[in-house]
Amino acid sequence: MNNRFSDQQVRIAAFDWLRRQCDQFGDVLPRNMLEKGFVLEGLRVPLVSPQGIFKPKVLESIPLSITTSPNGPYADSFSDKGFLSYRYRGTDPQHRDNAGLREAMRLQRPLIYFHGVMPNKYLAVWPVFIVNDNPDDLSFDVVVDDAYEAEQLLRVGDVPYISDSTIVRRKYITSNIKIRVHQSTFREKVLKAYRNQCALCRLKHVELLDAAHIIPDAEAGGEPLVENGLSLCKLHHAAFDRYFLGIRPDYTVVLRDDVMHETDGPMLRHGLQGMNGLKLVLPRQTELWPDPDRLAERYDRFCVFI
């Protein structure tokens, strides 16, 4: 047992480190980064392990993180009640990992949740709290909270008081996490299919790439499928969404006539006008190519602006 650091000190340091990584790399992080973790006064603190419920040695009894693998054995999901349902480890409710989460619930200690969106890539969500224990179906109910509020709770010496407004806030934030999970999964699959480059200009800086929907996700046909997506840099994503350019069903890029006749600096000349008439860079797997029917529907909308 290592009592060098308080439980609160470790959690606050972990949250600060995660915030810096997500600011730099986005909120989907590679597993090797999480396994390596961070250094706290000369001591390395990993954030994940092969087990889904993880407590680093620096902590006494309460886990630091829970992880869902995209190919794991447990069917974790969002419940109709607005909670994230997280499965026990194994079938023994008294397993030390399950007991650790039960203690986290009793003391209302915040955890980190890593949702596997692709093999070895995880959406980082924090802080999360265990709010219910469901031994009949071997699961816990988990909610997400505001990071600032959670750090204030960490500084409370006793079990914090949970008000009605806290419960409402947590349910609202948790419902938004479901959207982030779907968006992040879509982005990672699209970028992987396009080999982490813009389908128009071939820019390969992942931090500057988006997964653009051909048919918007709120519409019929707008499912988060790779064939309804395009890997685009932020410039070309904005130009596509705002109909500065269209893409024909034969994968040819077309610029609006008025944009082609504008005179401006090198960004317009090379970044937009230079794309006119080019063919998209396509995934290697033909079944992942943009759906021609969806492109035709989107191109018809673009033609209104020509």
pLDDT band at 306 (very low <50, low <70, confident <90, very high): confident
Spatial neighbors of 288 by CB under 8 A, at least 6 apart, are 193, 226, 227
pLDDT band at 164 (very low <50, low <70, confident <90, very high): confident
The strand pair at 121-134 and 28-30 is best described as antiparallel
On average, the pLDDT of the chain sits at 91
Predicted pLDDT at 148: 81
Q: pLDDT tens-digit profile of 208-241?
A: 999 999 999 889 889 999 999 999 999 999 999 9
The enclosing H or E element of 78 equals strand 77-78
CATH of domain 7-190: 2.30.280
Residue 119, SS3? Answer: coil
Predicted pLDDT at 201: 97
pLDDT for residue 64 is more than 70: yes
User: Mean per-residue pLDDT for 254-264?
Assistant: 95
Residue 132, SS3? Answer: strand
Q: pLDDT tens-digit profile of 18-32?
A: 999 999 999 999 999
User: Mean per-residue pLDDT for 248-269?
Assistant: 95
Higher-pLDDT residue of 161 and 303 is 303
Q: Rounded to two decimals, what is the model's pTM? A: 0.81
pLDDT for residue 62 is more than 80: yes
Predicted pLDDT at 1: 45
Write out the residue limits of the CATH 2.30.280 domain(s) in the chain.
7-190
Cβ density class 223-233: b for 16+ within 10 Å, e for less: ebbbbbbbbbb
Predicted pLDDT at 160: 67
Q: pLDDT tens-digit profile of 77-125?
A: 776 677 888 999 999 989 999 999 999 999 989 999 999 999 999 999 9
pLDDT for residue 207 is more than 80: yes
User: What is each CA distance from 65 to 11, 53, 114, 206, in whole angstroms?
Assistant: 10, 6, 7, 26
Please report, rounded to a whole number, the percentage of residues in the chain having pLDDT higher than 70: 94
Q: For 211-229, give the DSSP string.
A: EEESS-TTSTT--S-GGGE
